[in-house]
Amino acid sequence: MQNENNVNEMTAGGGVLVGPDLAVPSAEGRTAENVRGAFPWIPLARLGCFFGLLIGAMFVVNAMISTGLRRIKTSAFGAENLIMEGKVNADVVIAGSSRALAHYDPRTLASVTGKTAFNVGRNGAQTDMQIAFLNAYLEHNRMPGVVIFNLDAFSFVTSTHVFDSVEYMPYIQDPVLYNALKVINPNIWKSRYMPLYGYVVEDMNMTWIQGLKGFLGIYPKEDFYLGFNPRSKKWTNEFENLKESQPEGVSFEIEPAGIQDIQDLIQECQRSGIQLIFVYSPEYREMQSLTTNREEIFAKFREISARYDVPFWDYSDWRYAGNTEYFQNSQHLNAEGAAVFSDDVARRLKQFLQAPNSANVSSRGGEDGSRVATH
């Protein structure tokens, strides 16, 4: 047999073999010596010891990454750390998706209204995740007077997965955040209990390097200002690509669960005495006509706004909505656009805070091109 040498080698290793010609797959094939006392406890203990140490090392590295990310004082993690450590305590909080994140400069809001402001917008987050993060903010910080909740065409679409879940990993033990994440992704427990899972399996961007750097006191470049993350890019061709790939336009589902999320937010704010304001921040005009069920979505926004008496400021007709100089793509203003829009919305907010009722019943279309729900 060609494998005879291997067979002999294995015999020499301490085990008792039955050669291929003699072997039968039965108990008779084993000698009494082999059955009794032959189980290799010591080698197994060595292997167990090695893998135990390895798993221990993974827990240590996981803790170092989480600690490092929680230490960061700049950029996205810096903003998140301020929120989760309860160091924000702003009067005005802006919540929403990446559109909120890139459109509202809290510094402008603060200078115009005289109120402190902070932006808790989340990249790639649907309404459910936006609200979950807002709840985490409310849990750890003083109640704000006003929450500006930025709406999107996809506001009634619920999450199918947690976008950039690594951003939440340093705080995965936080019950408010964890319970919200669990609803969206039932498998999130793996990130909570399995070492490094949330950092290496769920994240493709090697954010763990940032964590280890943070542990050593090396922080990323600052690009967040009170939670606001301006986009410096000029108009890209993303919209042209979209038009080409979706010539019939796009539509966004109005899911009952999405409606419920927004109603829950309203009720939570009303219970806590927070003035909630819905704002539909500027969207590139040509994109508006490409959204086939936009009227239906806006009718639902208006209906909810009227039912719960929540102001709804619609900036669809913003004066620069058709000007690509102010946009990065159809959904996001660039830094220049955000500066203009932040000023517009800050002035409206100031007016609203001074005379809430008059601002709320004003006719459609302010000088900045915004619309106010006429309820």
Q: Which residues bind another protein (CB under 8 A)?
A: 1-3, 6-7, 10-11, 13-20, 23-27, 29-30, 34-35, 38-40, 43-44, 46-47, 50, 53-54, 57-58, 61, 190, 196, 200-201, 204-206, 208
Q: Which is nearer to another protein, 13 or 273 (CB)?
A: 13
Counted residue by residue, the chain has a size of: 375
**Residue 136 to residue 129: CA distance in whole angstroms:** 11
Q: Which is nearer to another protein, 48 or 365 (CB)?
A: 48
Q: Could you tell me the smallest distance in angstroms from the CB atom of residue 221 to another protein?
A: 14
Q: Which is nearer to another protein, 32 or 355 (CB)?
A: 32
- The set of residues, in sequence order, having a beta carbon less than 8 Å from that of 360 and lying 6+ positions away, is 311, 352, 372, 373
Q: Which is nearer to another protein, 55 or 143 (CB)?
A: 55
Residue from 123, 360, 365 nearest 223 by CA = 123
What SS3 class is residue 251? coil
Q: Which is nearer to another protein, 143 or 201 (CB)?
A: 201
Q: Could you tell me the smallest distance in angstroms from the CB atom of residue 263 to another protein?
A: 36
Tell me phi and psi for residue 145, to 5 degrees.
Answer: -80, -35
Amino acid at residue number 153: A
How deeply is 70 buried, as exposed, middle or buried, from its count of CB atoms within 10 A (0-12, 13-18, 19+)? middle
Q: Could you tell me the smallest distance in angstroms from the CB atom of residue 160 to another protein?
A: 16
Take residue 2 and report the two structure tokens written for it: 């060609």
**Residue 36 to residue 18: CA distance in whole angstroms:** 16
How deeply is 342 buried, as exposed, middle or buried, from its count of CB atoms within 10 A (0-12, 13-18, 19+)? buried
- The set of residues, in sequence order, having a beta carbon less than 8 Å from that of 4 and lying 6+ positions away, is 19, 20
Q: Where are the beta strands (DSSP E) in the chain?
A: 92-95, 117-119, 146-150, 275-280, 312-314, 371-372
Q: Which is nearer to another protein, 158 or 229 (CB)?
A: 229
8 A C-beta contact, residue 151 and residue 259: no
Q: Which is nearer to another protein, 127 or 328 (CB)?
A: 328
Q: Could you tell me the smallest distance in angstroms from the CB atom of residue 54 to another protein?
A: 6
Report the DSSP beta bridge partners of residue 150.
Answer: 279
Q: Which is nearer to another protein, 54 or 355 (CB)?
A: 54
Take residue 41 and report the two structure tokens written for it: 């406890």
Q: Could you tell me the smallest distance in angstroms from the CB atom of residue 229 to another protein?
A: 17
8 A C-beta contact, residue 331 and residue 235: no
Q: Could you tell me the smallest distance in angstroms from the CB atom of residue 233 to another protein?
A: 15
Q: Could you tell me the smallest distance in angstroms from the CB atom of residue 201 to another protein?
A: 4
Q: Could you tell me the smallest distance in angstroms from the CB atom of residue 46 to another protein?
A: 8
Q: Could you tell me the smallest distance in angstroms from the CB atom of residue 40 to another protein?
A: 4
Q: Which is nearer to another protein, 9 or 296 (CB)?
A: 9
Tell me phi and psi for residue 310, to 5 degrees.
Answer: -110, 125
